[in-house]
Amino acid sequence: MAEIIDMPKLSDTMSVGTLVKWNIKEGQTVAFGDILGEVETDKATMELSCTVPGTILKIYAPAGSQLPVGAPICAIGKKGEAAPEPSVAPAPKAAAPATAVPAIPEKTDVSCVPAAPASSGSVAPQSDASRAKASPYAKRMAEKAALNVAALAGTGPGGRVVGRDVAAAASAPAAAAPSGPLNVAVTPPADGKGIQPDADVPVGGMRQTIARRLLESKVTVPHFYLEVEVDAAPLMAMRESLNKRLAEAGADAIKLSVNDFILKASAEALRRVPAVNASWAGTSIRTHGAVHLSFGVALEDGLVTPVIRDAHAKTLKDIAVEAKALIGKARSKKLTPNEMSGSTFTVTNLGMYGVTGFFGIINVPNAAILSVGATIKKPVVDAQDRLVIGHRMVIGLSGDHRVVDGANGAQFLQALKQLLEEPALMLI
């Protein structure tokens, strides 16, 4: 018997997934373990493995579709078997259709969303939705999406409204002006070209999660900010010396980055001031014995924070190797949810873009985030009161004031500054 494959729940917080691409086509035979395609979750892009061997009878959702967990995406069965209608779920999955409803933005004025015919067939609108010629599943979908099922054009047998008709209507652009403010230009550019098209770019699962988590952090966490300037000359000298020795050791040797030193120094500073390696637990402060260090990796569609676990127990070289591997996985969108969760402290670095100083938003439930700026040359006064050219780096700390006091944050930055200005200390 043919089986409908639903959008799987690939992470604890996933509610919607985007079908990035299909590796299959209708009529193709698939075996257990074959990779059917790729799904972007709220945390990463993950492969979708086949758990039901057979023939691909039908692909219900094209590549690029954004669907809720539980929505039908394809059907697998015996060759020549008819594909089941996704609007009527198979008996073993009777409860699944209730979740297979297209997501509607919370602020959408649904009264302005028109019916979107999926074919040339049309059904005359009826005033009473309960008497509409539609499948029970389509009626439930329409009710949850706040659509008038009687006003939809049906593509099922005899003009019957089925699930795909409701999905098409729910995802169709509104004909009238959408509700809420639009902060976009209404006048075309004078040259007729502009710098980019005026458009509403669909937001993927990753960007939605970033927006939700940052808003939650900024609204619910009482941030405070501290800043310190570091003499980066000793760090730069040690980095150059170590990389020279590593290069002499072999062509495939790791090259240490400034961020590798920052990560190692952060882990050591947390060892000295463990009060910062903690999180707010509602009615208590949860202290963490291990340093699980996350760091920001910028991608085209957002920022991800892979985690180096037990960083307090790892050498500078260990951290550098692991960070490089995680960056590679992040850029190829192969990080697993486990590799992006469970951090106790976060480091974010914009120095490579020439940013001299900034303060990051706390990556909850961490109690603090370290923000690293670029190393710049500037005139400074040395220990002998001489005006000389110095190498300075500005480091900022955003702290959760429920967990970390100003004194704790200052002590942490003091320890970090000493480690960076005397980098040999972090190698002991």
Residues marked as catalytic: 401
Cβ of 328: how many Cβ atoms within 10 Å? 12
Q: Are 94 and 112 a contacting pair, CB within 8 Å? A: no
Q: Report which DSSP code applies to 196.
A: S
- The phi, psi pair for 248, rounded to 5°, reads -70, -25
- Give the span between the Cα atoms of 166 and 163, in whole angstroms: 5
Q: Name the one residue in this structure whose structure tokens are 């993950």.
A: 46
- The phi, psi pair for 346, rounded to 5°, reads -130, 140
Q: Are 66 and 43 a contacting pair, CB within 8 Å? A: no
Q: Are 351 and 375 a contacting pair, CB within 8 Å? A: yes
> DSSP states of 27-70 as a string?
T-EE-TT-EEEEEE-SS-EEEEE--S-EEEEEE-S-TT-EEETT
Instruction: Return the bridge partners of 231, or none.
Output: 392
The one-letter amino acid code at 157 reads P
Q: Name the one residue in this structure whose structure tokens are 């970090």.
A: 416
- The phi, psi pair for 141, rounded to 5°, reads -60, -45
